[in-house]
Amino acid sequence: MNSPHSPHNRLAIVALLFSSSLWGVIWYPLRWLDEAGMSAVWSSLVMYLVAAALVLPFLFKKNIFKANDSIDLLFLAIAAGITNIAFLVALTEGEVMRVMLLFYLSPIWSVLLSRWWLKEHLSKSAIAMLSIAMAGSLVMLWDASIGWPWPHGLADWLALMAGITFSINNVLSRKLADVSMAAKTGVIWWGVVLASILVLVWQQTPVPDVTMNVWIVAGLVGLIGIVVMTVTVLYGIARMPIYHSSVIMLFELVVAAIAAWALTNEVMSSHEWLGGSLIMLAAYGVAKSEA
């Protein structure tokens, strides 16, 4: 394993910080596109179609997938599609930090799914972090005028759904350890494309009546944003322990908080900050416990 101070390790850390920074501000071009007349689902279709087209020749290579992996790969594509559509729509419909923090309950769902699905041991520290995360979510969702802490509105529900399906995505990726990362990336990107098409057909959403510049921006976000974010995060994860990369990727929340403060007038209440801090603490604890 690389030394923490080796050039490869330092480059991996830089790659993860760069990827996290991009994920922390991805909501901004999405909102711009939404205000320009292109909904989040249409934006997702364009962005991921551009990215997925790049890996299409690779997916047709012989013997890239094993026959007994087909069901798991299908579920991986479905989980990835739901995750990305739900997350991106939530970012355009709700408060950025609230959506981000509810989504970051995903490490907790991953622990539970790994215990149930992969029969992995659930440690005492994992149980403690699960309790802290649940407490944080209850504090964050509390609204004295409504009563019982529960998701309020579409964005909250979509953020929670995205976190759960992202956990399914992670568990399946771990189960499909023998499948190359490039192949899994292609399956994930095409899963988002197909999910976007199904949602648009189900909603009977017409083609956006927008200028060519809007289409170009959406394509560039896919080509530069999605591809670069995916490549850099895969590079970083492949070169350091998962608990290190998971902790570093929490930097996304810091970037999202700064960007939301600088670019919007969104303000989180004190109890939302308290609940969010507990969720971050739990996510950090879960990542460290994997050491």
Query: What DSSP letter does each residue of 152-200 carry, written as one string?
Result: -HHHHHHHHHHHHHHHHHHHHHHHTTTS-HHHHHHHHHHHHHHHHHHHH
| pLDDT, average across residues 144-168 | 77
pTM: 0.78
Instruction: Identify the burial level of 11 via C-beta atoms within 10 angstroms of its C-beta, where 0-12 means exposed, 13-18 middle and 19 or more buried.
Output: middle
Is residue 125 a part of any domain in this protein? yes
pLDDT of residue 47: 95
Q: Distance between CA atoms of 134 and 155, rounded to whole angstroms?
A: 19
> Over 80: is that where the pLDDT of 158 sits?
yes
Q: Distance between CA atoms of 136 and 33, rounded to whole angstroms?
A: 32
| pLDDT, average across residues 24-35 | 91
Q: Distance between CA atoms of 282 and 109, rounded to whole angstroms?
A: 12
Q: What is the percent of the chain where pLDDT is above 70?
A: 77
If one compares 243 and 99, the residue with the highest pLDDT of the two is 99
Q: Indicate the SS3 state at residue 43.
A: helix
pLDDT of residue 150: 61
- Nearby residues of 4 by Cβ (< 8 Å), 6 or more positions away: none
Q: Distance between CA atoms of 117 and 122, rounded to whole angstroms?
A: 12
Is residue 129 a part of any domain in this protein? yes
Residue 123 dihedral angles phi and psi, to the nearest 5°: -75, 165
Is residue 29 a part of any domain in this protein? yes
In whole numbers, what is the pLDDT of the chain averaged over residues?
Answer: 80
pLDDT of residue 212: 95
Is residue 2 a part of any domain in this protein? no
3-state SS of the chain: helix, strand, coil percent to 5?
80, 0, 20
Is residue 174 a part of any domain in this protein? yes
- Taking only the tens place, the pLDDT of each residue in 205-252 is 899 999 999 999 999 999 988 988 888 887 777 676 665 666 677 777
| Contact by Cβ (8 Å): 94, 155 | yes
Q: Distance between CA atoms of 5 and 119, rounded to whole angstroms?
A: 35
Which residues constitute the domain of residue 39? 7-289
Q: Distance between CA atoms of 77 and 83, rounded to whole angstroms?
A: 10
Is residue 136 a part of any domain in this protein? yes
> Over 60: is that where the pLDDT of 290 sits?
no
Is residue 127 a part of any domain in this protein? yes
47-56, 98-107, 141-150, 248-257: the lowest-pLDDT one: 141-150
pLDDT of residue 213: 94
Please state, as a whole number, how many other Cβ atoms lie within 10 Å of the Cβ of residue 115: 14
- Amino acid identity at 283: A
Q: How many domains does the chain have?
A: 1
Is residue 1 a part of any domain in this protein? no
